[in-house]
Structure 1
């Protein structure tokens, strides 16, 4: 089995409502579908959600680097040779979402060829996981309404709350969420680098009073001394996310005292590097959780597979609900969140099929 073609297809899918956070606002999914076809007719898929305000990638840059740089390295290669291909792609710096989508598509192909689901190839720690929902910035009433909808319709009992703007407004939202949802629901917070160090320290102490379990990316990571001061003074663990986007970056952050837990995202480290990060953290006794890059349906399926494959991830709620923000998508069969859980697909590979009519409708290159 050899790789025959590599495609990067830009998509534009509207959201049902905007999703706001401290570093930006998303109103539609300008994602890229990466499709790798082999000479025996198998097709592997990966989703690249660009976040230019976080990582610098755009849909156009992902399409260009996949088409012009990565495809020539991949065509003719063995899709099982992930380590060799990983080294070839690493010669081009950055472009994390593009590389992540390629890696996901390669694992999809490997699973199909082996007749096994990806989560089984990754370790088969579980067949389903608890789902966590990411609540975007809004008024306290809007944020509570979002959480209540997820509780009532999907049984979700874990929420990541976006904060990082005005401290009083943020605390009012968290206070109301805790009051409405009760003490049995898990809340953790994500500031997306929105506060300075002093504000973040005050916020961490107040969040602890509301039984918030973790605080993600409280301030800009290049404020190195400020971040370390937050870690020392916070009563709740500080989570590295967009400041820890590579295996080496995770190692440096943990050893330098910049974070106490790590959010792993398939969208930027694929399955291969995500599993390496989880192994590193497990060896150091550091918690890892699966984060969400406002993934579409394909990215959600991939995140669920990663979490079900790795024991260290399967024990924590997984951020896999935000595809519900999208008005539609290109998968023939959407993911399902039921009774607060997301199940890994049992078909070989990722177990996904693309709806050709929806792909034709939402692609932006034709």
Structure 2
């Protein structure tokens, strides 16, 4: 089996409402659909989300890297030579989501070629995974209403709360309101997207210590090395690294030097291959992981379900999987379904998702 075609297709889908958070906002998904075709007619796919405010990647940048740097060595390569492909991509610095997308598409091809789901190839630990929903900036009343809607309609009982505003009292008020409205049995955790200083984050952590928040994710910029270390040491709430750990090496650095005490794994930036290494490192060190969401489309969420449900350690906590519901549409032929607060892992060969070509034709922006 040899790769014969590599396509990077830009498309835009509007959001149902803008998503607001400390490091930016999003009112449309300007993503890239990656398709890798082989000489026996198999097509591996992945969705690549540009997040310039997080990793610096843009839609056009992703397309350029794929077409000019990655496609030349992918063409003619056997998808089973994953480590060869990973080593060649590693010659290019950064471009995490682009590399992750290539890896996911390669795994899709491998699964299809052997007639097995990627979920089962990765380990197939359980057949579904709990869903966590991400609640963006709004008034406390609006944030509570959104969380209650998702709990009542979909059975979701875990929520990531976007924080990082100033004054910090805005976020403290919202967090207290959510806990009071949702009760003690719902999992809640913060995500500040580097919006605070270390001292502001410590103040919030101490103020909310007795309302049972599980984690505080990326509270301040990890480049403030000493402030971050003091925060991890003094915070009564576990500190999760996300944007600051886009690679295995970054995870090792932050965990071993005291920059974090838990890790968010995102298949959108580390694919399946590097995500396995990160998961193994965290499990070996006894560190919690969260399966994160890069404001993923429905197709991107399929990858998260596939990986998260495949391992015991990654399935312990609810995975961030519901943000595709905030998109105005999706490219999947068959939609993901959230039932009783869970999503089932795909069981069909490969990634378990196919593209609706009519929708792709409608939303793509390259004129083809």
TM-score calculated relative to the size of structure 2: 0.99
Equivalent residue number for residue 159 of structure 1: 159
Partner of 1:111: 111
What does 1:4-83 align with in structure 2 at a 5 Å threshold?
A: 4-83=4-83
**Offset of residue 29 of structure 1:** 0.4
Hey, what's the Cα distance between the residues in 2 that align with 1:36 and 1:98? Answer: 13
CA drift at 1:230: 0.4
For residue 179 of structure 2, what is the aligned residue in structure 1? 178
Looking at structure 1, the residues matched to 271 and 5 of structure 2 have their Cα atoms a distance apart, in angstroms, of 20
Structure 2: distance between partners of 1:89 and 1:362: 28
Tell me the CA shift for residue 84 of structure 1: 0.8
Tell me the residue number matched to 1:196. Answer: 197
* 1:194-225 residue CA offsets vs partner (Å, 9 max, x unmatched): 00011110111122221101100010110000
Q: Distance in 2 between matches of 1:93 and 1:146?
A: 39
Q: Distance in 2 between matches of 1:74 and 1:256?
A: 37
SS of residue paired to 2:214: strand
After superposition, residues 220-239 of structure 1 pair within 5 angstroms as 220-239=221-240
Aligned to 1:270: 271
Secondary structure at the aligned position of 1:187 is classed as strand
- SS at 2:309's partner residue? helix
Residue 90 of structure 2 corresponds to which residue in structure 1? 90
Q: How many residues align?
A: 366
Instruction: Give distance in 2, aligned partners of 1:257 and 1:307.
Output: 25
CA shift at 1:15, angstroms? Answer: 0.4
CA RMSD of aligned residues (A): 0.7
Contact preservation (8 Å) 1:111, 1:118: yes
- Aligned partner of 2:310 in structure 1 is 309
- Please give the alpha-carbon distance, in whole angstroms, between the structure 2 residues aligned to 1:261 and 1:333: 34
Partners of 1:261 and 1:270 lie apart in 2 by: 19
Task: For residue 55 of structure 1, give the secondary structure of its aligned residue in structure 2.
Answer: coil
Instruction: Give 3-state SS (helix, strand or coil) of 1:309's partner.
Output: coil
Q: Describe the superposition over 1:77-131 as per-residue Cα deviations: whole angstroms up to 9, x where unpaired.
A: 0101111100000000011111111100001111111111111111111110111
TM-score normalised by length of structure 1: 0.99
- Separation (CA, whole Å) in 2 of partners of 1:348 and 1:195: 44
SS for the counterpart of 1:10 is strand
Other structure's SS at 2:296 match: coil
**Cα deviations across residues 264-305 of structure 1 (Å, max 9, x unaligned)?**
000000000001100011111111110000000111000000
- Secondary structure in 2 matching 1:30: strand
> 8 Å contact 1:275–1:310 — kept in the other structure?
no
Decide whether the 8 Å contact of 1:21 with 1:163 is kept in 2.
yes
CA distance in 1, matches of 2:64, 2:141: 42
Please report how far the alpha carbon of residue 315 of structure 1 lies from its aligned counterpart in structure 2 after TM superposition. Answer: 1.3
Distance 1:327 1:99 in 2: 27
Q: Following superposition of structure 1 onto structure 2, how do residues 281-296 of structure 1 map, counting pairs within 5 Å?
A: 281-296=282-297
Deviations 1:337-356 (CA, angstroms, capped at 9, x unpaired): 11000110110011111111
> 1:247 maps to what in 2?
248
